[in-house]
């Protein structure tokens, strides 16, 4: 379903190796904001495995000046966005190809390729940005050795950086200077990077286990240097962890991180020169929250770990994207869990990761953009940097580790690097290495079936029904699997699903402490002998597979798991199930009741809250209700306002009936002294914040203001951003009379802090729509002097928060939210396709909406689809949403 003239569908089955290889690339840049000159000298040779054909180089928005082969001018033609060279030397000998072109970085609002941000030059080449810098075979399986020379005005751009090792620098005439960089490792074009600007640097020298010294550098704008300490420590921790866990060492003399506020993504793992969104570098106690600190640690780790899983070994084609991203997300998750320290803190991190997966990725798997971890086709590859590729891909890798064990997985990783270092490979190659290193494992025995996780879209359902024979002391568990049809995949074959489990008696004693079973067929019968009491099954411990579990457990059995399960994940899951079931029952009634939660569940919550041994962060997670988005995914027909009202009723009930317990929690979870973002302190702050939120809500429902004033006092006297923003959030979410006073104070205090202002915009965009004016407040905020639609962070903080995360304000009977969405998608697509496409996905699940929302959403999507000059990024999203 494509418009005439749009880009054709790219299919995995059509992959062919390149007709030419590029062995070396020598780039010289004369940097100028309006006209940057790029001299590209390449050593090229034919691929003897492919038929003789013309060389077709990709290029976009370039001004071509000359093309030379072996020092002589040659004929060429331009075919769309490709430079075609037909008169090339025959045979397999290498030849020199020289291309001189110019580009205009200042006009590059796509933030892809070479662009200017706040008077500095940056690049973003993944997935296909290098073709906006010079003509090239812009595909990941073409790997070359790069030498880069940068020349620029020294006063304007005193810092000139590129990949690899700095081998030469000096002054030139006319106030200019140069640097020359060599990356000794082969890499694809998407890992190229350069930075030029007036930046300052934090440096740290380290000594690796091998005894080799390395220089670590973090570059930021002047004035932000004091906020780089945590990023540097996170980088040092990442390097040490990868050496200890996988024996992978830093392979360059230096490793650099550079931060910019204009960036479409979180960060980019360019070889030796990572370019980051400032959001994932800058942190100080007064400007960054606990979540910010944790995210910086995770993202710094993620990009560093790509040095081996993504850079040294990269993906053969973009369909294999999860080869590097899924594996590296798994590695950064393991890194964060290991750094968390205690088993409880590790469990909290695991729960947080799964909560994202189930809320966002499960919805993607059930929607129009559903695709396998290894997609079969795409129109625009940028649309497939998704939670399926990243988070579900990480779960596939985690299941491999579960099936072969932690040591077995390390052996598989070692074999992977022995076989494929310096190559561009596939997901199958990785899976084969893990299996070959563990030949007797369940993974090796069922490898073909396991690979269906790469080829089949959708979230499998596991149905488990148990029967206990008291006389025989036998427990029998009937386990079935199924998977609903997804676009282009109507029939699914059985997945290989590892199930970690235990059996618990009603009094909490363990009848079976731990066992790993593996589902390989549509149906299994598992028999457990010697079970002395009727058990409650604890299935999918640690969320051992990304599936939806359906059981016949009743409320008493879920309460048993919530109170006694030794597996922290399943203890949390039991609470979520009980709350979710209560919510769905209430939503399906003609009039949602005020009392949604049972007395037994409220008492169970009280026990968790007061439990002396449980971690504060774990308590916070247990007592946080499932999100409205997650609730919506459990329903076949979605009334967003009914869901919102039901969840609000749940909050009110918890606030009122546990008020004395919340007072206890607030008063007994202080974190006195110097701010530290460690897991224990962060957990205490999180629980105290939840208590304050519920207490402010209780006052609002009782027409009191005692806790509103205490929240205002907590806001004004906080010594860190976590406590301050949490107190402000509590005031905004309950609609306190002093809400505007606090918001104005926050803005005036942090007016010059870009990332803190993002929080200010996001808090208002996500606030509950109590008076029906939410859409009007967002439109008004778009006219605020500090709002900049062209800055991705700012646009996401206001517009994406409103459209993706504020269900009660976005979904309106008058369709005002959908009209706003359509306007913004079209407007942003005019200058930044990637940001627009991500915003476009806010209505992925429009078909589930009840009327009148469904028809209004449909009309809004059609309006976007009918827009002239729509990018392929947005076009693919809206067309797939409209497909029957």
514-523 LR contacts (CB < 8 Å, sep 24+)? 514/541, 516/402, 516/544, 518/403, 518/442, 518/446, 519/462, 519/479, 519/481, 519/494, 519/495, 520/446, 520/449, 520/494, 520/496, 521/494, 522/480, 522/481, 522/482, 522/494, 523/478, 523/479, 523/480, 523/481
CA distances from 377 to 224, 360, 383, 396, 455 (A): 42, 21, 11, 20, 12
352 contacts: CB under 8 Å, gap ≥ 6: 621
CA 19 – CA 36 distance, rounded (Å): 30
DSSP character at residue 390 = I
Phi, psi (deg, nearest 5) at residue 852: -85, 0
CA 370 – CA 388 distance, rounded (Å): 8
Q: What is the pLDDT of residues 504-551, one digit of tens each?
A: 999 999 999 999 999 999 999 999 999 999 999 999 999 999 999 999
| Whether 458 contacts 547, CB under 8 Å | no
DSSP character at residue 295 = H
Supply the pLDDT for residue 204. Answer: 98
Partnered with residue 46 across adjacent β-strands are: 20
| Whether 536 contacts 505, CB under 8 Å | yes
Can you list the alpha helix ranges (DSSP code H) found in 222-262? 229-246
- List, as one string, the DSSP characters of 790-831: TSHHHHIIIIIHHHHH-HHHHS-TT-HHHHHHHHHHHHHHTT
CA 385 – CA 328 distance, rounded (Å): 14
Q: Which two tokens stand for residue 26?
A: 């020598």
802 contacts: CB under 8 Å, gap ≥ 6: 765, 766, 774, 775, 778, 809, 810, 817, 820
CA 718 – CA 615 distance, rounded (Å): 23
CA 159 – CA 201 distance, rounded (Å): 10
Q: 838, 841, 803: which is closest to 821 by C-alpha? A: 803
- Average pLDDT by stretches of 10, the chain with 884 residues: 60 98 98 98 97 98 98 96 96 96 98 98 98 98 98 98 98 98 98 98 96 97 98 98 97 97 97 98 98 98 98 98 98 97 94 98 97 97 98 98 98 98 98 98 98 98 98 98 95 98 97 97 98 98 98 97 98 98 96 94 98 97 98 97 97 98 97 93 98 97 95 97 98 96 98 98 96 96 98 98 97 98 98 98 98 98 96 97 88
CA distances from 87 to 56, 63, 489 (A): 12, 21, 44
Question: For 349, how many CA atoms within 13 A lie in the half-sphere containing its CB?
Answer: 23
Q: 477, 470, 479, 478: which is closest to 530 by C-alpha? A: 470
Q: Which two tokens stand for residue 572?
A: 């949390």
CA distances from 356 to 285, 385, 391, 752, 857 (A): 26, 15, 8, 31, 25
Question: 649: how many CB neighbours lie within 10 A of its CB?
Answer: 18
Supply the pLDDT for residue 672. Answer: 83
3-state secondary structure of 164: coil
3-state secondary structure of 80: coil
**Which run of H or E residues covers position 599?**
helix 599-610
CA 827 – CA 852 distance, rounded (Å): 26
| Whether 290 contacts 166, CB under 8 Å | no
Supply the pLDDT for residue 422. Answer: 97
| Whether 299 contacts 242, CB under 8 Å | no
| Whether 346 contacts 168, CB under 8 Å | no
Beta-strand pair 273-277/254-260: parallel
Burial classification of residue 443, based on how many CB atoms lie within 10 Å of its CB (0-12 exposed, 13-18 middle, 19 or more buried): buried
CA 701 – CA 726 distance, rounded (Å): 20
Q: Which two tokens stand for residue 745?
A: 């104070």
Query: Edge to edge, what strands does the sheet with 194-197 contain?
Result: 113-117, 120-124, 194-197, 159-162
Supply the pLDDT for residue 6. Answer: 53
DSSP character at residue 319 = G
The dihedral of CA 866, 870, 874, 877: what is its sign? positive
3-state secondary structure of 131: helix
Supply the pLDDT for residue 3. Answer: 43
DSSP character at residue 388 = I
Tokens 């594996």: give the residue.
Answer: 327
CA 866 – CA 875 distance, rounded (Å): 9
Catalytic residues: 303
3-state secondary structure of 779: helix
Supply the pLDDT for residue 4. Answer: 40
DSSP character at residue 226 = G
621 alpha carbon, distance to own chain's centre:
20
The size of the chain, in residues, is 884
Radius of gyration from C-alpha coordinates of the chain: 28
Partnered with residue 504 across adjacent β-strands are: 510, 536
- List, as one string, the DSSP characters of 48-66: TTS----EEEE-SS-EEEE
712 contacts: CB under 8 Å, gap ≥ 6: 727, 731, 736, 738, 741, 742
């Amino acid at each position: 379903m494509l418009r005439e003239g749009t880009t054709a569908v790219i299919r995995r089955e059509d992959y062919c190796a390149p007709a030419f290889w590029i062995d070396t690339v020598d780039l010289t840049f004369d940097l100028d904001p309006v006209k940057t000159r790029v001299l590209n000298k390449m050593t090229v040779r034919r691929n003897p495995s492919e038929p003789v054909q013309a060389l077709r180089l990709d290029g976009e928005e370039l001004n071509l000046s000359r093309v030379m082969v072996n020092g002589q001018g040659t004929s060429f033609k331009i075919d769309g966005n490709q430079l075609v060279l037909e008169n090339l030397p025959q045979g397999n000998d290498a030849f020199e190809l020289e291309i001189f072109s110019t580009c205009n970085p200042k006009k590059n609002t796509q933030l892809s390729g070479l662009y200017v941000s706040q008077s500095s030059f940056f690049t973003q080449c993944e997935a296909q940005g290098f073709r906006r810098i010079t003509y090239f075979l812009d595909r990941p399986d073409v790997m070359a050795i790069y030498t880069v020379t940068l020349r620029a005005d020294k006063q304007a751009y005193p810092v000139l950086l590129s990949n690899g090792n700095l081998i030469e620098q000096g002054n030139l005439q006319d106030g200019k200077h140069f640097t020359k960089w060599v990356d000794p490792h082969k890499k694809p074009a998407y890992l190229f990077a350069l930075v030029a600007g007036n930046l300052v640097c934090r440096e740290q020298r380290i000594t690796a286990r091998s005894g080799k010294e390395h220089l670590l550098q973090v570059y930021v704008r002047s004035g932000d240097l004091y906020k780089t300490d945590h990023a540097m420590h996170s980088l040092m921790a990442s390097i040490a962890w990868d050496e200890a866990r996988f024996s992978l060492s830093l392979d360059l003399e230096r490793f650099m991180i550079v931060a910019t506020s204009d960036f479409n993504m979180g960060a980019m793992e360019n070889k030796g020169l990572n370019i980051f969104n400032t959001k994932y570098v800058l942190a100080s106690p007064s400007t960054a929250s606990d979540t910010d600190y944790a995210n910086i640690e995770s993202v710094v780790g993620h990009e560093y770990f790509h040095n081996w899983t993504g850079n040294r070994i990269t993906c053969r084609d973009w369909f294999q994207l999860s080869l590097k991203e899924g594996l590296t997300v798994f590695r950064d998750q393991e890194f964060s869990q290991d750094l968390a320290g205690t088993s409880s803190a590790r469990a909290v991190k695991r729960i947080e990761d799964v909560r994202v997966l189930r809320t966002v990725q499960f919805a993607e798997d059930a929607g129009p953009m559903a695709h396998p971890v290894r997609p079969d086709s795409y129109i625009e590859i940028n649309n497939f940097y998704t939670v399926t590729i990243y988070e579900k891909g990480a779960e596939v890798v985690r299941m491999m580790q579960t099936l072969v064990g932690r040591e077995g997985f390390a052996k598989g990783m070692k074999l992977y690097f022995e076989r494929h270092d310096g190559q561009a490979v596939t997901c199958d190659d990785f899976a084969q290495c893990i299996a070959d290193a563990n030949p007797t494992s369940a993974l090796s025995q069922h490898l073909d079936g396991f690979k269906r996780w790469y080829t089949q879209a959708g979230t499998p359902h596991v149905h488990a029904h148990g029967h206990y024979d008291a006389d025989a002391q036998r427990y029998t568990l009937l386990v079935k699997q199924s998977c609903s049809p997804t676009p282009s995949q109507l029939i699914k074959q059985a997945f290989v699903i590892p199930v970690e489990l235990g059996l618990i008696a009603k009094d909490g004693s363990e009848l079976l402490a731990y066992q790993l079973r593996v589902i390989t067929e549509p149906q299994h019968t598992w028999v457990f002998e010697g079970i002395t009491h009727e058990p409650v099954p604890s299935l999918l411990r640690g969320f051992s597979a990304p599936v939806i579990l359906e059981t016949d457990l009743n409320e008493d059995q879920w309460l048993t798991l919530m109170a006694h399960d030794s597996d922290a994940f399943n203890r949390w899951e039991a609470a979520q199930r009980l709350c979710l079931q209560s919510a769905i029952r209430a939503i399906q009634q003609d009039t949602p009741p005020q009392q949604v939660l049972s007395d037994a569940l409220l008492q169970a919550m009280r026990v968790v809250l007061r439990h002396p041994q449980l971690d504060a962060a774990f308590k916070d997670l247990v007592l946080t209700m499932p999100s409205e988005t997650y609730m919506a995914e459990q329903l076949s027909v979605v009334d967003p306002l009914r869901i919102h009202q039901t969840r609000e009723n749940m909050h009110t009930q918890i606030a009122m009936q546990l008020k004395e317990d919340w007072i206890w929690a607030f008063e007994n979870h202080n974190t006195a002294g110097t701010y530290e973002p460690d897991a224990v302190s962060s957990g205490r702050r999180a629980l105290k914040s939840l208590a304050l939120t519920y207490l402010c809500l209780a006052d609002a429902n009782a027409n009191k203001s005692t806790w509103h004033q205490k929240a205002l006092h907590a806001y004004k006297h906080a010594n860190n951003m976590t406590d301050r923003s949490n107190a402000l959030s509590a005031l905004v979410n309950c609609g306190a009379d002093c809400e505007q006073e606090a918001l104005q104070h926050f803005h005036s205090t942090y007016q010059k802090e870009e990332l803190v202002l993002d929080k200010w915009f996001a808090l208002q965009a996500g606030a509950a729509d109590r008076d029906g004016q939410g859409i009007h407040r967002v439109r008004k905020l778009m006219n605020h002097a500090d709002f900049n639609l062209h800055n991705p962070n700012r646009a996401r903080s206001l517009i994406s928060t409103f459209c993706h995360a504020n269900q009660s304000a976005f979904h309106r009977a008058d369709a005002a939210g959908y009209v706003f969405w359509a306007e913004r998608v079209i407007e942003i697509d005019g200058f930044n396709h990637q940001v627009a496409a991500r915003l476009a996905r806010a209505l992925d699940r429009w078909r589930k909406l009840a009327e009148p929302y469904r028809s209004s959403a449909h009309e809004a999507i059609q309006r976007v689809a009918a827009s002239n000059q729509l990018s392929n990024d947005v076009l693919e999203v809206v067309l797939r949403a409209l497909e029957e």
